[in-house]
Amino acid sequence: MKFITQSSIFIISFRLIIGGILVFASFDKIGSPDDFARDIANYHILPFGTENLFAIILPWLELTIGLGLIIGIFVNGAALLSMGLMGIFILAIGSAILRGYNIECGCGLKEGEMVGIGKIAENAVYFAFSWLVFKRGGRWFEILPKSG
């Protein structure tokens, strides 16, 4: 595992992959918050009504941490939040599958994507990438905080 966290190529690639996915996923949600709110509501996890608050904030959180990872601003914080988001997505999708819901994922990557084991595996990979970025052994192409 250490050879990965010590390798600038691996770490920068992971940052670009997760960052790119988060930024891309946020566009659709920012464009139509009402659709995203209904996707969240379909999971029946949150108290009724609060899905709108999440639909307003979550896409911007994805966008800012995605940009943070790509540009190299507060990478530790961005990686931690990315792990948190992926963890929440895994739990939400898992609970929907266990309750037999056949609903749209609302992941923002592809139109009409449904919840399924594949989405859990995908998010688990992104979780692992984020964790490796957090445990990285050096700071490569990072703007903030300034080192030294």
Partner 1 sequence: MKRIFAQNPLFQVLFFLIVSIVIGFGNNWLRDDSIPLLAEKLTIATTDDLLSDIAGESVLKAIDLEQARKFYFEDVVFVDARDLEYYEEGHIPGAWNSQDFMELSFRLDSHQGKDRSIVTYCDGDDCGSSEDLAYDLQGEGFMKIFVFVGGWSEWKETGYFIE
Question: Which residues of this protein are in contact with partner 1, per CB under 8 A?
Answer: 30, 32-35, 37-39, 41-42, 44, 48-53, 55-61, 63-65, 68, 74, 76-78, 80-81, 101-104, 134, 144-146
- Distance in Å, CB of 51 to partner 1, minimum: 6
Q: Among residues 44 and 88, whose Cβ is nearest to partner 1?
A: 44
- Distance in Å, CB of 65 to partner 1, minimum: 5
19: helix, coil or strand?
Answer: helix
- Distance in Å, CB of 140 to partner 1, minimum: 16
Q: Among residues 74 and 126, whose Cβ is nearest to partner 1?
A: 74
Rg (CA), the chain: 16
Task: Report yes or no: 98 and 138 within 8 Å, Cβ to Cβ.
Answer: no
Instruction: Compute the half-sphere exposure of residue 107: CA atoms within 13 Å on the CB side of its CA.
Output: 22
| Closest CA relative to residue 72, chosen from 146, 141, 131 | 141
Q: Among residues 9 and 148, whose Cβ is nearest to partner 1?
A: 148
CA atoms of 75 and 68, how far apart (whole Å): 6
81: helix, coil or strand?
Answer: helix
Q: Is 104 left (phi over 0), alpha (psi -120 to 50) or beta?
A: beta
Instruction: Compute the half-sphere exposure of residue 86: CA atoms within 13 Å on the CB side of its CA.
Output: 25
Q: Among residues 12 and 63, whose Cβ is nearest to partner 1?
A: 63
- Distance in Å, CB of 66 to partner 1, minimum: 10
- Distance in Å, CB of 16 to partner 1, minimum: 18
Q: Among residues 21 and 58, whose Cβ is nearest to partner 1?
A: 58
